[in-house]
Amino acid sequence: MRTFFYPESIAVFGVSDAPKNLARTIIENLQRFGFGGAFFAIGTSGGTIAGKPVLNSLDELEETPELAVLLVPALHIPSILEACGKKGIRSVIIESGGFSELTEKRSSLEEEVKEIAARYGMKIVGPNCFGAINLEIGLVLPFFILNPQYMRPGSVSLISQSGGIFYDTCMLCSVENVGLRKLVSIGNKLITNENDVLEYISGDPDTRVIGLYLENFSNGRRFMDIAAQSDKPIVLLKANRSLASQEIARFHTTAIAGDDDIAGAAMRQAGIHRVQSFQEMVDCFKIFSLPLLKGPRLALISRSGGHGVVSADAAYHYGFELARFSEGFFHTVREKKLNVIEATNPLDIGDVYDLDEYKAILDMALQERGVDGVLFVVTYSSESDGKKIRRFIEHAAQITPIHDKPVAICIATNKGEWFAVKEAADFPLFTDVDTAIRMLKMSYEDYRFPGHRRKTYYGVQAPEKNIPSGHNEPPVMVRPDEAFGLLETYGLPVAHHAVVASLDEALKAADRIGYPVAVKTASPEVLHKSDTGGVKLNISGPQELEETLKHMKARICMIQKMVSPGVEVIVGGRQDREFGPVIVLGLGGIFVEIMKDMAIRVLPIDDEIAGEMVDELKGSAILRGVRGRFPADIGALKTVLVNTSKLLIEHPEIKNLDINPVIVLEEGLGCVIVDAKIERST
């Protein structure tokens, strides 16, 4: 990947001196940003661009460029690639559109591109992309005009599947005091995908924050691995969300875990900050340009009582504590004759009329050992105090890295003053208190991400490329007795049971198991037994059993020992299309779809992660014992989760698994599985 960001020489194809020619903009951008390497314009119409001659072909070059950028009609790409291959060029960016994104009929064109690339050992970014930017060396390859006056070098790098998001990032960051480092538009991801670029940029010493816009994952497990091993904050805007398919919606467990739910859980598991909007992504860039928040204690400072109340509400909502200022802090305030309205946190500085004193107040707050971060809401008259506030922002930019604590400044002013304030220093500013504190929460989450427990996900079998043969054939349901047998081999505690095909077998089985018993249809086609009259509970004797079987009219039934009352949970899993085997824990039995109280993890999991899943449930207090109930056996439930994880990993042919319900008995008495459904590939 290094050649795409640090080429010593570049050949740009498709250039002409026509005013509307897009490839000429690439040449002009390179010149405008002072790219120090050699770059050559190649086209068919001759002429000159930015003082450079437009060559007719690569044959006119004695040297071999390290990187080729192609912006020609799609149908001409194979012949130009062939020429690049023969010349010895091994890194190519195809910015041209007109491939599979236009019509499926162009997929054969993409296959031809891949064949040529494989033959010459080429690495290709694109097609249908905006290329790459590395402001460190003036490498600017998009075919739209950019200007170094507003493209400020910084520490944020971006990987975007969308050219539009790529462009918008350049524009919005320029007005949000966010400096950029390396940007790449990956387009159709024909050969180079987000994982290839993410792995490279994660090791880039000049990048502090990585942003991504994706519409799909090329390999979700590899993505998780790379992200989990990175020491940089990673912010993801994931579009193209979808609900769980109709095939899996028949299962209680997997129906509540839609594709987007799984993607969200996977990102949290890997320590990735998933955002819901482009603006939120840029806000993350802003907060991560500051030192990470290393504790939950915030100092809230404002000139308005209203802002103080709003700040305190937001801090409470996002789980922060209000820092306790020391007596020494207020002693210094009194010595400096700063007229704070009340010696509390939030600190109301409404009576401090000399705004130059804001610098001293911020200094004192950051020096407090009990303060982990500061929110400072600035209210002022732009006509009379603008210069003082600009000096305050310059000061904040200087001392924030010294104290290694984040300072989130919220400010509102008029249009003219707004740009003057932003140009005072390369320092992020917010306009909304809630947004600023929500971003501080993300900073704190990044600091707390348990990197010492990072798992390897890529080694586990993933879908698509590694899924078992026959995966396109219709799945089949496993017989209940076979499902129970498989669970038992993994140490999962199924209820004592027997499958019977006659009244005589049923009576003998019930006598052996011991009354009371439950009777269930053993047909694998009946998914929801309680909805179709396929289950009867608490049968107390032979006569009631005979009557039940007569009315149920099932050819094969399962006789089960009734289980003592406990807390009903569900455990399930599936082979997700993007992340492979995942596990779901939910609370609620037949009401699980309504409650949607669930915890999801990409496998594998261990006992500690299983405990986190239990804690994540909104109803976890029920398991721990409330209103006089005895605590449930959470240790046994965690064992069920871990053993189910092993089963799903070792049996990738299982498309869907629904263990519902699992009865969690009192602490020390274990769990009992009373029903399970398995759908597998043929």
CATH 3.30.470.20 occupies which residues in the chain?
A: 567-680
pTM beyond 0.85, yes or no: yes
CATH superfamily of the domain spanning 496-561: ATP-grasp fold, A domain (3.30.1490.20)
pLDDT of residue 287: 98
CATH superfamily of the domain spanning 567-680: ATP-grasp fold, B domain (3.30.470.20)
* Structure tokens that stand for 651 in this block: 């049996």
Quote the distance between the C-alpha of residue 39 and its chain's center. 38
Question: What does DSSP assign to residue 231?
Answer: S
- SS3 letters across 527-589: CCHHHCCCEEEEECCHHHHHHHHHHHCCCCEEEEECCCCCEEEEEEEEEECCCEEEEEEEECH
2-245 topology per CATH: Rossmann fold (3.40.50)
pLDDT of residue 337: 67
Measured over the CA atoms of residue 443, residue 446, residue 447 and residue 448, the dihedral's sign is positive
Give the type of residue at 94: I
* Contact partners, residue 17, CB within 8 Å, separation at least 6: 24, 45, 47, 48, 49, 54
Q: Give me the average pLDDT of each 10-residue run along the chain (682 residues).
A: 97 94 96 96 89 92 97 96 97 94 84 97 97 97 94 95 93 93 96 98 96 94 94 93 46 54 93 95 97 98 91 97 92 77 83 85 95 94 88 96 97 87 90 97 93 60 45 78 95 95 94 95 68 81 92 86 92 92 84 74 94 92 82 96 97 94 95 94 84
pLDDT of residue 253: 44
pLDDT of residue 286: 97
CATH 3.30.1490.20 occupies which residues in the chain?
A: 496-561
* Contact partners, residue 85, CB within 8 Å, separation at least 6: 116, 119, 120, 122
CATH superfamily of the domain spanning 287-448: Succinyl-CoA synthetase domains (3.40.50.261)
CATH 3.40.50.720 occupies which residues in the chain?
A: 2-245
DSSP, residue by residue, 484-519: HHHHHHTT--BPPEEEESSHHHHHHHHHHH-SSEEE
Is the bond preceding residue 401 a cis peptide, omega within 30 degrees? Answer: no
